[in-house]
Amino acid sequence: MKPFRHINVPGVAEAVDYLNKFPGSSRLIAGGTDLLGVLKDDILPAYPELLINIKAIPGLDYLREDENGLSIGALVKLAFLARSPLVREKYKVLADAARSVGTPQLRNMATVGGNLGQETRCWYYRYPHGIGGRIQCQRKGSGPCLAVGGDNRYHVIMGGKGCFAACPSDLATALAALEGSIKTEGAGGGRIISIGEFFHPLGNALKAGEMIVELQVPPLPAGSRQHWLKYTLREPVDFAVVSVAVLTVLEAGICREARIALGAVAPGPLRALQAEQFLKGKEPIPEVLQEAAVLAVQGAKPLSKNGYKVEIARVLVLRALEASFAGHK
């Protein structure tokens, strides 16, 4: 690994300050579980001179619930989220998504902010520099996306543009079903970005010098149920081929609300709005759910090698809906 300077910052203000003093040549480091891999494989053309360690910022690992919903400090560890009785009880998809990440060791280090900030897992993007040189691509600023004409079995089936890498974050999928958002701090002050707006085909919405300080989940619809499913090639230590988070509200046997978020099929978590709309006002009988699942993947444009992801996504949506509605009884 190439050398870099590593500094600890006492607070968010200082972190933002350093980010702005070293634009383009500094990176935040939280748990380091993603960043260190990125640096070791030297996949990016620019190598940071400075790592700004935010891990030790006091008070940024809170979990709070009030009338505005749930707030999660950026430094909350995935292990904590997965274990928290509050989250497991009420925000089940978040806890389940967190628990599905990596291994216990990783979850003990990995933070929620880092999970949203992590780099994609596209194997062209991640190709190690040491074996004949890194791969330049759209996402890195220049060059074509090699996945389009290459081996794209794990790439997106919807929403790619210029880059077809899938969003790796499981938390993002869960947050999308909960209609969560991300609170940031930057040189010009803070802002709130809804999770649906956070990921772009070529990266994320963070501006230079901006950092995530909190995840927010608004109050849940009364009586709602949730379900999380993640499909991987092997059980642990694997990113999703497809993940699904759903939230449902059932009143007198009729679906009042349904939210379906798909993960790893697009550059960001994707809400299946058409399917959601279709479900509203209907009785969730098998035929309805099947139809909804078909609608959820309608419009998918698989690449040459990832058509199977469409089928898996459909089945996962169906199963998640079945489980969520079953939870109402």
Ligand X SMILES: Cc1cc2nc3c(=O)[nH]c(=O)nc-3n(C[C@H](O)[C@H](O)[C@H](O)COP(=O)(O)OP(=O)(O)OC[C@H]3O[C@@H](n4cnc5c(N)ncnc54)[C@H](O)[C@@H]3O)c2cc1C
- Binding residues for ligand X, rule: CB under 6 A, are 27-35, 37, 74, 78, 100-102, 106, 109-111, 113-115, 117-118, 168-171, 206, 211-212, 237, 239
Q: Three-class SS of residue 5? A: strand
Query: Which residue's CB is nearer to another protein, number 180 or number 302?
Result: 302
* Residue 34, contacted partner among another protein, ligand X, none, CB below 5-8 A by kind: ligand X
Answer yes or no whether residue 2 interacts with another protein by CB under 8 A.
yes
Cβ at position 102, least distance to ligand X in Å: 4
Class of residue 136 by CB neighbours under 10 A (exposed 0-12, middle 13-18, buried 19+): middle
Q: Is 311 in the site for another protein (CB under 8 A)?
A: yes
Number of residues that bind another protein (CB under 8 A): 31
Residue with tokens 């203000």: 13
In 3D, which of 50, 54, 53, 55 has the Cα closest to residue 23?
Answer: 50
2 and 44 Cβ atoms separated by less than 8 Å: no
Give the residue carrying structure tokens 């956070």: 198
The answer to whether 87 and 112 have CB atoms below 8 angstroms apart is no
Per-residue binder mask for another protein (CB under 8 A), 215-244, x = binder? ----------------x-xxxxxx--x---
How far from 142 is each of 127, 135, 145, 156, 162, CA to CA, in Å? 16, 10, 9, 20, 10
- 153 binds another protein, rule: CB under 8 A: yes
Q: Which stretch binds another protein (CB under 8 A): 58-66, 146-154, 261-269, 295-303?
A: 146-154
| Residue 214 to residue 198: CA distance in whole angstroms | 13
Residue 41 binds another protein (CB under 8 A)? yes
Closest to 2 measured CA to CA, from 38, 47, 50, 51: 47
Report if residue 316 touches another protein, rule: CB under 8 A: yes
* Site membership for another protein, residue 291 (CB under 8 A): no
Span from 55-63, 215-223, 271-279, 307-315 in contact with another protein (CB under 8 A) = 307-315
Residues that bind another protein (CB under 8 A): 1-3, 41, 121, 123-124, 126-128, 130-133, 146, 150-151, 153, 231, 233-238, 241, 308, 311-312, 315-316
